[in-house]
Amino acid sequence: MNAYLGIDVGSVTTKFAALDESGKLIASLYTRTLGRPIEVSQAGIRQIGQELGDKWKIHGVATTGSARRLIGVVAGADVVKNEITAHAVGALHYVPDVQTVVEIGGQDSKVIILRDGIAVDFAMNTVCAAGTGSFLDQQAYRLNIPIEEFGPLATQSRAPVRIAGRCTVFAESDMIHKQQMGHPIEDILYGLCAALARNYLNNLCLGKEILGPVVFQGGVAANVGMIRALQEALDMPIIVPAHHGVMGAIGAALLAQEHMQANGRVPTRFRGWEVSEVAYKTSSFECRGCANQCEVVQIKVGGEVLARWGGRCGKWEM
């Protein structure tokens, strides 16, 4: 039976999702990127292949995320799409009438405004970690609390403290000050959640019309403290899909299915499960053909160059 594979390669985590012809999730994986997107993607493809077995045949592959082009070459992607498109498609798959998508990942966050099933506006925060999951991860580490316990503890707060969340450095200083004043840990944790919610809304949603249904996805959506903080800040209910952590990969898989169905009998470019055994090597060089001096990245197998990208003029694109 045919299946479609979506791979979302982020800076902090890498997600995989395999869907059947009806759009049902049949296999998924959420793992840390660990600064090694190629090796982690190869291991993830191998694991998904083992989970699917011989019963399923990959009929289309799409990649998204910050390393989408790199992993698109490694996996043999039929489609390479940006995160905005992938997350919007994933959200629409589970909540067809969604009008706002809140996505908070490890290193960046985004808001997507949809009207009648079409993305009409979006914004991304890639400048400061104070509005992302790494902000909470770092504070949990400082407080010696497992990140899995962060949310449940935060929801126990009855008198949350206000923490300056515009900057991670100031937030840490403010958090330490609140600890030294004797505030309970649960009030500090929820104060951190509220600070992240304020940062997100002030940076990304300013001037945008936030209408429900609102879908909250990304790894941070697993934090029940953040769900409560966003609901209170927006004064409206928040929908968290069952597979919120891999929604970008699900959207990519749906885009792969759409692409393959639109192209009829064209075979998939997927390199097969054995791609996990191939030794890829990446390098870069500076093009001196003009004043732009673009940094061009290339990926090789043995002595063969599979792809190059990064130039503005397209001279080196393969």
269 touches 245 (CB < 8 A): no
- pLDDT digit string, tens, across residues 242-299: 899 899 999 999 999 999 999 877 899 998 888 888 888 888 889 888 888 888 888 8
Give 136 or 8, the one with higher predicted confidence: 8
- pLDDT digit string, tens, across residues 128-186: 655 677 778 878 887 888 888 888 988 888 888 888 766 666 777 777 788 778 888 88
- pLDDT of 3 above 90: yes
Comparing CA positions, the residue from 124, 129, 134, 100 lying closest to residue 204 is 124
- Find the DSSP H helices in 53-115: 68-75, 83-94
Q: What is the mean pLDDT of residues 179-200?
A: 84
| Stated length of the chain | 318
One-letter amino acid at 50 equals: Q
**296: which strand partners?**
285
Residue where the block lists tokens 């053909």: 289
Q: How far apart are CA 9 and CA 45, in angstroms?
A: 12
Binned at pLDDT 50, 70 and 90, residue 127 comes out as: low
- pLDDT of 91 above 80: yes
pLDDT value at residue 70: 87
DSSP code per residue over 117-182: TEEEEEEEE-S-GGGSHHHHHHHHHHTT--HHHHHHHHTT-SSPPP---SSHHHHHHHHHHHHHTT
64 touches 6 (CB < 8 A): yes
How many separate helices (H) and strands (E) can be counted in the chain? 9, 13
At 99, list the tokens: 């009008």
196 touches 226 (CB < 8 A): yes
Secondary structure percentages of the chain, helix, strand, coil, to 5: 40, 25, 35
pLDDT value at residue 296: 85
pLDDT value at residue 165: 64
pLDDT value at residue 166: 67
Structural domains for the chain: 2-88+248-277 (3.30.420.40), 96-240 (3.30.420.40), 280-309 (no CATH)
Binned at pLDDT 50, 70 and 90, residue 84 comes out as: very high
Peptide bond connecting 213 to the previous residue in cis, omega within 30 degrees of 0: yes
- Cα–Cα separations (whole angstroms), residue 76 to 2, 3, 272, 274: 17, 15, 8, 12
Q: How far apart are CA 150 and CA 216, in angstroms?
A: 18
Q: How far apart are CA 222 and CA 282, in angstroms?
A: 34
One-letter amino acid at 287 equals: C
